[in-house]
Amino acid sequence: MKGKYQKMDRRSLLASGAVLGGASLLAPLLPVWAQSGTSGSGPDMPTLTGDNIQLIVGRSPFTVGGRTGHAVTVNGTLPSPLIRLREGDNFRVAVTNTLEDEDASIHWHGVLLPFQMDGVPGISFPGIRPGETFVYEFPILHAGTFWYHSHSGFHEALGQYGPLIFDPAGTDPVTYDREHVIVLSDWSYIHPHVLFDKLKKAEGYFNFQKLTAAGLFGEDDHGQRMPLDERLMWQRMRMDPTDIADVTGSVYSYLVNGHGPGENWTGLFQPGERVRLRFINASAMTVFNVRIPGLPMTVVQADGNNVRPVAVDEFMISVAETYDVIVQPVEDRAYTLVAESSDRSGMGRGTLAPRMDMMADVPPLRSRPLLGMDDMGMAGMNHGATALDIPAGTDRATLPAIDHSTMDHSLTDRGTMPGMEEPAGADTDSMDMASMNMRDKSRAPPDMDVGPGVDMIAMNPQDSAGKPGLGLEDVGHKVLVYTDLVALSRNPDPRPPSRSLEIHLTGNMERFMWSFDGRKFSSLVEPIRFARNERVRVTLVNDTMMQHPIHLHGHFFEVVTGNPGFHPMKHTVNVLPGTRISFDLTADAPGDWAFHCHLNFHMHAGMFNVVTVRPLDGQVE
């Protein structure tokens, strides 16, 4: 079961043809499953399978929108090949790194495996050096839709991600006539290093929708929607209510199976068929809102685990999540598959149609959501008679005026801002009270490091399991929420949690610092320790105004949705701004595991830690 390193001659490997994964050298650099016009990934489609799969990580050109850039790919394609195996089979995949000067890796996202096979350099194995091959090998214990991606440098953001399907050993409770894999992602011609550096220098750098000076004075629609006092508050906090995503459609092309919106990836169906769509959000930084206008979707699986079928018109898929849905189009017509970025700065687009020459209308981007008091963790906060929990659609002009003299900047280095003084304590105007309180470090839990890396502490974070995502509160149709997800079979561990643990998601937006409990990841940071088979309720508190998809390797946890015994089992949970969410974990996988925000740049900035589960096999407690 142990992985091993092998030396392999690259030329003979390439010549063997074993590595092509269904892609021909003459075809576009897309695997067969991802090509437009595909009839779906059924049993006769060439995929990588069997007990001797060979993958080659390398550099390849990638073209979208008529431009060509440099991608990091597996077997030459973006997305990577579809790997399809069966529960109970042996997983044996040899990965060769042909990059000239960089280590490579593959992490099998959502897969239960021995930690040495998890593929995170520095945590679970040393990484794969140039010219080296690492053989991943373990038994496949479960079925579902998963994916795989690099955990090295910015290789994932540069295109190294692909789908991984484990078919059930027995009968699949989900019946379908046809299936398509839908990998959503984001691609930029600007190197991720450059994007990251620009964000470090100026958070909001790519937010060209922000409230500009013109907007502040009411010359655009949002300027008019928000009264001056509230706009001034945002400005004074040096934050922006349009700051939904760090990197936006201004620099990203949103991809559906490697196709830009203009290339219109098309998947075929026959009217009347039950079509299974396996959605995977393989983006570096983009949360998507997915809908197929005119076609209801039935969610049947989340993060690789079956759920009771639930009918929706739209769902949010955060980075690294997967959702399987069934659609049953009965008409002989095309449907547009819309994957809007959550900040509404752009759209991934594809088509489902009976024939290749058909397409449907593409709806315009909906108006961008604005952050509100809830997203600062101040839902339902009352100061005297003034409720700060402003229901959508309320006339915000009724809010009281703001006195500039009262704002606490003790948490931040904003003391040099002109016109700002220490709070006098006399004026208790509600908004100033709010902005003071969200920076009141005395509210921090005792084990949090409250340095410059923390610019906000949620005062009254609400549980977000029942909340639709940002901008989906009143779209006028059914949007999936976590509380809709009910596990199809009873959760395996009936024990109640024996302890609880609170982890704060922390940041300084302006300086693009991201961390857990105020501590940016380094080898000096104490890991999060679980005793083997311990059952723990973990509560994630989001002390930031961004959403974070938090991913734990090597385990499924049960998102606490108020349906004990049938909580949805997930590997990634999205935590909305200023809210909290809990999961119950049985720490049954011994080893060292990565635990991190799956927004690639947040992880790189330090929102990452190691989870240790002890004792290991053969170790005495």
Nearer CB in complex with Cu ion: 256/371: 371
Nearer CB in complex with Cu ion: 91/608: 608
Nearer CB in complex with Cu ion: 370/599: 599
Upstream peptide bond of 168 is cis (omega within 30 degrees of 0):
no
Q: How far is the CB of 444 from Cu ion (least distance, A)?
A: 19
Paired tokens of 276: 């299974």
The DSSP secondary-structure symbol of 215 reads H
Distances, alpha carbon 435 to alpha carbons 237, 281, 411, 462, in Å:
8, 34, 11, 18
Nearer CB in complex with Cu ion: 292/576: 576
Measure the CA–CA gap between 235 and 418, rounded to whole angstroms: 13
Nearer CB in complex with Cu ion: 318/586: 318
Q: What are phi and psi of 136, to 5 degrees?
A: -90, 130
Nearer CB in complex with Cu ion: 266/600: 600
Measure the CA–CA gap between 87 and 141, rounded to whole angstroms: 6
**Cα-based angle 493, 494, 498 (whole degrees, multiple of 5):** 90
Q: How far is the CB of 303 from Cu ion (least distance, A)?
A: 18
Q: How far is the CB of 547 from Cu ion (least distance, A)?
A: 7
- For residue 162, count CB atoms less than 10 angstroms from its CB and return exposed for 0-12, middle for 13-18, buried for 19 or more: buried
Measure the CA–CA gap between 32 and 42, rounded to whole angstroms: 12
Q: How far is the CB of 602 from Cu ion (least distance, A)?
A: 3
3-class secondary structure, 177? coil
Paired tokens of 380: 């339902």
Q: How far is the CB of 313 from Cu ion (least distance, A)?
A: 27
Q: How far is the CB of 357 from Cu ion (least distance, A)?
A: 42
Q: How far is the CB of 196 from Cu ion (least distance, A)?
A: 13
Q: How far is the CB of 117 from Cu ion (least distance, A)?
A: 26
- C-alpha neighbours within 13 Å on the C-beta side of residue 164: 23
- For residue 220, count CB atoms less than 10 angstroms from its CB and return exposed for 0-12, middle for 13-18, buried for 19 or more: middle
DSSP symbols for 227-287: -HHHHHHHHHTT--TT---SS-TTTPEEEETTB-GGG-EEEE--TT--EEEEEEE--SS--
- C-alpha neighbours within 13 Å on the C-beta side of residue 220: 12
Q: How far is the CB of 410 from Cu ion (least distance, A)?
A: 25
Nearer CB in complex with Cu ion: 125/514: 514
Q: How far is the CB of 318 from Cu ion (least distance, A)?
A: 10
Nearer CB in complex with Cu ion: 33/557: 557
Nearer CB in complex with Cu ion: 107/236: 107
Paired tokens of 396: 């915000």
- CA 514 from chain center: how many Å? 15
- In the complex, the residues that contact Cu ion under the rule CB under 5 A are 548, 597, 599, 602
Nearer CB in complex with Cu ion: 75/515: 515
